[in-house]
């Protein structure tokens, strides 16, 4: 071997990273074989071992995806199906065998966009104090990661379900087997993610084969009910085959279909499905009764989720970003909301859905457009989070939060504490690129202080499962059915009992799985 401290021996082979004197990093480490050819739409398998030292100084390719001006993938990005890699950061002082707590990140992006190498997710600020080792995972996206073609399997060509979830489980296997060589503790892994990444976290908490792979979890703005059954997955699969011009009898041809055609067909479905069926997505986890045995919220309600401590929460103005982007993903207009509820009622007649008047009681005094945004926020994010907290708190401590802070610029733009607004504070990367206008009207001093508080709580949770803050910060009590304590992150943080009382009473306790 070598005296280079960035050369680490993994079970697959040695890798060489970077050390800038403050932090070390290893980028683009392969954790799976390339999912191409006959492995396309199949469960991932471990990579072939190597003997020469692999270069881990540059990020690996990102999953093929459409362009999105809101999601900055970073300079010199290469898109390729061979995207199943992960990145690791630690303080320069961390050494082999140190057994520091580990945080494993799952990026968001509506199951279609994003990567672990986005500049926003640069891990240096989070690890520079040496408290944790950080891992960020790439997984397959869009049609390549969430299209369930298992209904099209034949004797000659088999397809697997929930590919992205299987990717993440294999990556967690890799962390368990290798992270100690990077100074991490495989027995203290915290899985955390936001938006689609948050939903993957809340889903993995209910997958039997993920048990024991992480000891704590953090779910930021999880659309926990965006999980669909095999019948709906089969319908989307049929729509996809029609888009790419391949008959069901000729599915073997999918192995050689050009990636650009797959991405284009996926993008078309990404827009069309929520437009025709408000509140639903083309791509999301599937209840396949194999990897994922049941709807996650049903598992939480039954008290059968993995009993690990959980931080979970949402942002005050989740839906405003989707309105600003003119995104079809969330039903915001009264007509779209009514259409969504009509579809839920027809597909799930056993549910005791609240009436329009009952729901409206939680939004009295709001103008129609504002009420539509609030309903979209709550059915998409806040209510599933509360239902999940109620269920999971029976098996493990749950720490509920709401992120309310918005800079003067975000308030002026009327997006407020919108979806993903908390990310810069968690990561400590408050300004990402010269075009970032978040702090153009001020707020940086407050933002830095808020970031320090959030990072301290996230790291404290990773250390011992208790997200307690700095001296003088309010105590963050576990969420229990009596007090229902919530920590509100704002200019000044506060702990509030039963913050969502009116919402809970208006919406009721039924779990809405958009099947």
Q: Which residues are catalytic?
A: 195, 318, 419
SS3 content of the chain, % helix, strand, coil (to 5): 35, 15, 50
Give SS3 for 372. helix
Residue with tokens 């073997």: 252
Per the CB < 8 A criterion, the answer to whether 91 and 130 are in contact is: yes
Provide φ and ψ at 250, rounded to 5°: -120, 35
Provide φ and ψ at 312, rounded to 5°: -145, 145
Provide φ and ψ at 106, rounded to 5°: -115, 115
Per the CB < 8 A criterion, the answer to whether 490 and 345 are in contact is: no
Per the CB < 8 A criterion, the answer to whether 300 and 278 are in contact is: no
The pairing of strands 54-55 and 7-9 is: unpaired
CA distance 338 to 396: 36
User: In whole angstroms, how large is the CA radius of gyration of the chain?
Assistant: 22
Token pair for residue 304? 């059968």
* Measured CA angle at 63 (ends 279, 7), to 5 deg: 135
Instruction: Output the CA–CA distances (angstroms, integers) from residue 184 to 9, 59, 87, 99, 133, in the order listed.
Output: 14, 21, 14, 4, 6
Provide φ and ψ at 150, rounded to 5°: -60, -25
* Measured CA angle at 295 (ends 165, 380), to 5 deg: 90
Provide φ and ψ at 7, rounded to 5°: -90, 120
CA distance 259 to 145: 13
Give all strands of the β-sheet with 54-55 in edge-to-edge order. Answer: 7-9, 14-16, 54-55
How far from each other are the two terminal CA atoms of the chain, in whole angstroms?
A: 54
Which bin fits 109, alpha (ψ -120 to 50), beta or left (φ > 0)? left
CA distance 422 to 404: 9
CA distance 489 to 483: 18
Give the number of other CB atoms < 10 A from CB of residue 8.
22
């Amino acid at each position: 071997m070598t005296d280079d401290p960035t050369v680490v021996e993994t079970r697959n082979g040695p890798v060489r990273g970077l050390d800038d004197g403050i932090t070390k990093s290893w980028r683009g480490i392969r954790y799976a074989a390339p999912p191409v050819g006959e492995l396309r739409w199949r469960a991932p398998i471990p990579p072939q071992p190597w003997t020469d030292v692999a270069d881990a100084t540059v990020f690996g390719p990102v999953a093929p995806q459409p362009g999105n001006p809101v999601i900055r993938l970073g300079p010199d990005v290469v898109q390729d199906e061979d995207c199943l890699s992960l990145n690791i950061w630690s303080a320069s002082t961390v050494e082999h065998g140190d057994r520091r707590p580990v945080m494993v990140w799952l990026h968001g992006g509506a199951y279609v966009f994003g990567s672990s190498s986005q500049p926003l997710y640069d891990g240096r600020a989070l690890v520079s104090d040496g408290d944790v080792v950080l891992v960020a995972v790439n997984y397959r996206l869009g049609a390549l990661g969430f299209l369930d073609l298992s209904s099209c399997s034949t004797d000659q060509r088999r397809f697997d379900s929930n590919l992205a979830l299987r990717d993440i489980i294999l990556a967690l296997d890799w962390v368990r087997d290798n992270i100690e060589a990077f100074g991490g503790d495989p027995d203290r892994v915290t899985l955390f993610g936001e938006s689609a990444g948050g939903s993957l976290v809340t889903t993995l908490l209910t997958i039997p084969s993920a048990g024991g792979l992480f000891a704590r979890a953090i779910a930021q703005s999880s659309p926990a009910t965006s999980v669909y059954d095999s019948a709906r997955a089969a319908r989307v699969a049929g729509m996809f085959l029609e888009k790419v011009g391949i008959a069901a009898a000729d599915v073997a041809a999918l192995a050689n279909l050009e990636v650009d055609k797959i991405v284009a067909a996926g993008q078309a479905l990404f827009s069309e499905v929520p437009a025709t069926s408000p509140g639903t997505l083309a791509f999301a986890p599937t209840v396949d009764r194999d990897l994922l045995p049941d709807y996650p919220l049903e598992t939480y309600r039954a008290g059968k989720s993995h009993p690990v401590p959980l931080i979970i929460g949402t942002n005050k103005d989740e839906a405003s970003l989707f309105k600003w982007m003119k995104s079809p993903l969330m039903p915001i207009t009264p007509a779209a909301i009514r259409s969504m509820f009509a579809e839920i009622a027809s597909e799930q007649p056993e549910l005791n859905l609240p009436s329009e008047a009952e729901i409206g009681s939680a939004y009295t005094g709001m103008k129609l457009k504002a009420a539509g945004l609030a309903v979209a926020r709550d059915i998409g994010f806040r209510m599933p989070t509360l239902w999940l907290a109620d269920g999971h708190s029976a098996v493990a401590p749950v720490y509920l939060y709401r992120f309310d802070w918005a800079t003067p610029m975000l308030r002026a733009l009327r997006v407020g504490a919108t979806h993903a607004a908390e990310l810069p504070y968690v990561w400590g990367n408050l300004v990402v690129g010269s075009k970032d206008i978040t702090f153009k009207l001020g707020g940086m001093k407050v933002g830095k202080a808020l970031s320090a508080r959030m990072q301290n709580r996230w790291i404290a949770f990773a250390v011992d499962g208790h997200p307690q803050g700095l001296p003088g910060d309010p105590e963050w009590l576990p969420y229990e059915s009596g007090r229902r304590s919530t920590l509100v992150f704002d200019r000044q943080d506060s702990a509030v009992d039963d913050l969502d009382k009116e919402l809970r009473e208006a919406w009721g306790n039924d779990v809405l799985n958009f099947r």
